[in-house]
Amino acid sequence: MRYVLVVASVVVLVLFGIMVAKSSYLTEWREYQQEYQSMLPTAPPEEGQVCELAQEFRIKQRQAVVPALKVMDRCVTCHLGMDNPLMDGAKQPFRKHPGDILTSHPVEKFGCTTCHRGQGVATTWRDARGVDVHWDDPLLPTKLIQSSCGACHDAEWLADNGAPLLAKGAALFEEHGCRSCHKLGGLGGTLGPALDNVGLKIPTEFSFTHVTGEHTAWNWLAEHFKDPQGVSPSSDMPPQDFTDEEMDAMLVFLLSQQANHIAPRQYLPDDYFVSRARETNSRPYSGEQLYNMLCQRCHGSGEKGRFDPFFAREMPAIRSQRFLETASEKFIRAQIGQGRPGTIMGAFGSTSSGLSEVEFDRLVAYVKGGVEDHWNELEPPPAGSAVKGKRLYTKHCEECHGKAGVGGSGNQLASRTFLKAATDGFIAESIRTGRPGTKMEPFALSAGGPLSEQEIGHLVAYIRTLSPGGKPK
């Protein structure tokens, strides 16, 4: 019995403590309102002027409720001078809202969190910011507010109408070849996750184990750009060297990716529909556009081989003369369409990358660039011995193509996609004359190299064993 009394009095004490804490919270906004009231004039500064007067001001909670936008914002409980011209230049939270954006987006119709995020119902500044408290949608830093405009407006229209960073971010996204690994609007590679809804991800959907700063989506994204492997160990994403302005633009653009969040129809201005129309009108993309969006990030112009320091490997010269005159169109289509599983060369066929059939044809035609091939005239080498081939391989090839055709800086020869589409003549010719402009040198005696036709035959026999089922039908 005594035990119960002790427990009960502890509970009462705790409840009392909570009440005291709560009431000090309550006074936070009251104090702001009292201070605001003391800043208001008791008579209009000029005769006939309509303005808020101290004696008419009531101390009470204020809020904007907009069910259509699921908004119940008490921000104006503290931000009292939002539309008061006398509060231009006053200290926060009393200062008039910057610019005239509240004229076209009145508080009664839009609230505040529609653009700023943050916890609308909160009546303390800490809870309203929602950063160190448990809240899914913390207040955006001012420089990133432009990310909210894209939910209702067309990104290109916004470039001249209040959100230039959004358009800049969209351009950077294409220039940096992000699409070669990420899908957006259905189009792109598959190495990384699709980004259509990355702007809706809440802090608990990111891992902050290796992030040093604030637990907000934008801080995660910023730290991830600078050091993807530091934030997501074993990530395949190369670090991005952005200037501060580019970083802000990129963050604004990513945070605006909210495909699953569409504002109610009455909130969508005409320009929104322009963007839909533009998207459809620009498809199908040309081969060159697709190459620049999807391939250039890794292959460069494709005319020469290039060593990529991040991936620590060679990127094949897929638009070089020798490759194009010796590879069949079927071979090229298969490599692009199916990729090279086990390497960073992903599949870009229509089912994987979102290209239409027409676009895939255009891309292949652009890569081929009109070069005429004579793959069917390439001589197969004499039949050889895989055992002898293996010895030759270890001596001449392993350094670049890796043990048993895996993991070198050159192409992965232990690849089903490669071996199924490559004829003996094509493999032999790649060895005989090499690929000018790349690290792959000519190996045939006739081209100044060390290997006889028979030895090349042994090598082809060995390479065929590197992947099960690795033979053309």
Q: State the minimum distance, in angstroms, from the CB of residue 9 to ligand HEC.
A: 33
Cβ proximity to ligand HEC, 168 vs 182, nearer residue: 182
CA-to-CA separations, 301 to 279, 315, 326, 367, in angstroms, rounded: 26, 11, 19, 10
The nearest distance, CB 278 to ligand HEC, in angstroms, is 18
Tokens of 229: 């492997």
Mask of contacts with ligand HEC, 116-155, x by CB under 6 A?
x-xxx-xxxx--x----------x--x--xx-xx-xxx--
The answer to the question of residue 427 lying near ligand HEC (CB under 6 A) is yes
State the Cα–Cα distance between residues 107 and 114, nearest whole angstrom. Answer: 10
Where in 273-332 is the site for ligand HEC (CB under 6 A)? 294-295, 297-299, 305, 314-318, 323, 332
Q: How distant, in Å, are the alpha carbons of 193, 223, 229, 362, 383 from that of 210?
A: 19, 9, 10, 43, 55
In eight-state DSSP terms, residue 73 is: E
C-alpha count within 13 angstroms, C-beta hemisphere, residue 427: 27
The amino acid sitting at 304 is K
Select 183 or 401, whichever has its Cβ closest to ligand HEC.
401
Residues 1-30 that bind ligand HEC (CB under 6 A): 28-29
* Least CB distance to ligand HEC at residue 308 (A): 8
Q: How far is the CB of 473 from ligand HEC (least distance, A)?
A: 19
- How many residues contact ligand HEC, by CB under 6 A? 114
Q: Which of 81, 194, 207, 93 is nearest to 139 (CA)?
A: 93
> C-beta of 107: minimal distance to ligand HEC in Å?
4
For residue 64, list its beta bridge partners.
73
Could you count the other beta carbons within 10 Å of the beta carbon of residue 307?
A: 12
Element (H, E) at 66: strand 64-66
Among 185, 230, 239, 269, binds ligand HEC (CB under 6 A): 269
CA dist 197 and 184 (Å) reads: 9
| Shortest Å, Cβ 18 to ligand HEC | 19
Query: Segment near ligand HEC (CB under 6 A), from 1-9, 12-20, 186-194, 374-382?
Result: 186-194
Determine if 404 is a binding residue for ligand HEC (CB under 6 A).
Answer: no
CB 150 within 8 A of CB 162: no
CA–CA distance from 299 to each of 241, 303, 451 (Å)? Answer: 19, 9, 30
C-beta closer to ligand HEC: residue 40 or 449? 449
Q: 409 with 472: CB under 8 angstroms?
A: no
Q: Report the residue from 30, 215, 340, 420 that binds ligand HEC according to the rule CB under 6 A.
A: 340
Write down the least CB distance from residue 48 to ligand HEC, Å.
27
Contacting residue, 430, 461, 467, 470, with ligand HEC by CB under 6 A: 430
User: Could you tell me the smallest distance in angstroms from the CB atom of residue 371 to ligand HEC?
Assistant: 13
